[in-house]
Amino acid sequence: MECREMSVLIHEFLDGEIDELSNQKLQTHMRTCASCRQHLQELQRAIAFVQSASHIQVSPDFTARVFAQLPTPTRKKRFSSWLRNHPFLTAAAVFLFLMTGSTMANWYERDNTLQIASSNMDKLKIDRTRNVVVVPAGTTIDGDLVVRNGNVEVQGEVRGNVVAIEGKVVLASTAHVAGSAESIEAIFEWIWYEVKNIGNDLLPVFP
Amino acid sequence: MDFVEKRLTQRAKRGDREAFAELIEIYKDKIFQLAYRMVGNRQDAEDIAQETFLRVYANLHTYDESYKFSTWIYRIATNLCIDRGRKKRPDFSLDEEVEPGQGMDWYSRLSSNEKNPADSLVTQELQETVQDALSHLAPKYRSIMILRYIEDLSLQEISDIVKLPVTTIKTRIHRGREALRSKLRFM
Ligand SMILES: [Zn+2]
């Protein structure tokens, strides 16, 4: 009579989701009902058979064949792997970053640490407590100076552009900037070809 | 998700091919296994597994890290398997059960031409019987039974993969188990 109802409980039991009361009911019923006992046993065997289906492995050159079909790296990807291959840049906390077009930004982790790109790292004064990069009076920086997540204070000379991304450029009365000095509020305003130009003379000169 | 996998997906997202290769190593056999049990032959299964990783690569930028990576990749693979079944059998309805007695469908016909010499006879017979029983389930049941009992996933994760409520998953598993029981009871 109650075998139909028991079938529901049997499946709850197999899902491991039967409550105590239902479980007692099921066990009591099965003690006297051979057909429900058999039903459960057959289900358990079917599951065991499926689980025992041996786990086959993909052919050994699978990964290589996937890679052969990947699109060739675009400029932005080559650029990021170039960065990875020059860890000394990272070590010196010199970073090249940013770029946009919505796609570009994806390749870089956004974080709030101060990042600087310049070919004259050694001449810069970095005030980490105030997040300010200072070009001291009397010094000359060759090429562009790019700072992200911080301000730039120019007292000396920069023979290039000064750019602060998510920061401000402050020019002292003694400042001399050959190119333009600009603040960029959000990273997406940055344009790829500008970064490319920085990339060309990125290699910093260490003392 | 475990930490290593999270780091790998973040690195792969930034275009790091080594990280992507490591993700392939972690998932290739699982995805291949799912595809093989869905379509029943190595060649189609490898094609589907490859296509899965190519889609993962192409869509990494849309991957939302608040979800498990496994959920996302299983979803891509499951959809590809079901799409392939549709393509090969244009009139195939997802709800249609293969008629009892009709015998093997295209999946098992293809697989029956392939023998894996490494398998012992007994194992092979069991393999074929299980594969045959699975192939008689409609794809929407088959995929869920494979995710549950071969990939060993929880009801909740299966529900996340196929985007259906857990109660629906349970119903399909109950029916799937009954169908497998009737196929395998005389083994
Ligand atoms: Zn009974």
Residue A196 belongs to a domain = yes
Residue A100 belongs to a domain = no
Q: Domain of A44?
A: 2-52
Residue A180 belongs to a domain = yes
CB contact under 8 Å between A50 and B149, yes or no, is yes
**B-proximal residues of A, 54-93, CB under 8 Å:** 54-59, 62-63, 65-67, 69-70, 73, 76-77, 80-81, 84
CB contact under 8 Å between B15 and A77, yes or no, is yes
Q: For residues B150 and B139, is the Cβ–Cβ distance under 8 A? A: no
Would the pLDDT of A190 be above 50?
A: no
Residue A22 belongs to a domain = yes
Residue A172 belongs to a domain = yes
CA B172 / ligand 1 centre spacing (Å): 22
Residue A155 belongs to a domain = yes
CA-based nearest residue to A104, from A194, A190, A199: A190
- Residue-wise DSSP of B75-128: HHHHHHHHHHHHHHSTT--TTPPPPTTS---HHHHHHHT---TTS-HHHHHHHH
Q: How far apart are CA A145 and CA A151, in angstroms?
A: 11
Triad A115, A121, A127: Cα angle to 5° = 60
Give this complex's ipTM: 0.80
A198 or B27, greater pLDDT: B27
What is the pLDDT averaged over residues B88-102? 43
Domains by residue range for chain B, with CATH: 2-87 (1.10.1740.10), 109-184 (1.10.10.10)
- Using the 3D structure, point to which of A52, A74, A92 is the last residue of a domain: A52
**Strand A145-148 vs strand A115-118: parallel, antiparallel, or unpaired?**
antiparallel
Position A176 scores a pLDDT of: 85
Q: What is the pLDDT of residues B114-171, one digit of tens each?
A: 444 444 666 778 888 999 999 999 999 999 999 999 999 999 999 999 999 999 999 9
- Neighboring chain A residues of B129 at a CB cutoff of 8 Å: 49
CA closest to A73 among chain B residues: B15
Residue A154: Cβ-neighbour burial (10 angstroms; 0-12, 13-18, 19+): buried
- Neighboring chain B residues of A55 at a CB cutoff of 8 Å: 29, 33, 150
Query: How many domains does chain A divide into?
Result: 2
Residue A16 belongs to a domain = yes
- Using the 3D structure, point to which of A33, A52, A71 is the last residue of a domain: A52
Residue A76 belongs to a domain = no
Q: What is the pLDDT of residues A66-94, one digit of tens each?
A: 999 988 765 555 555 555 554 444 333 33
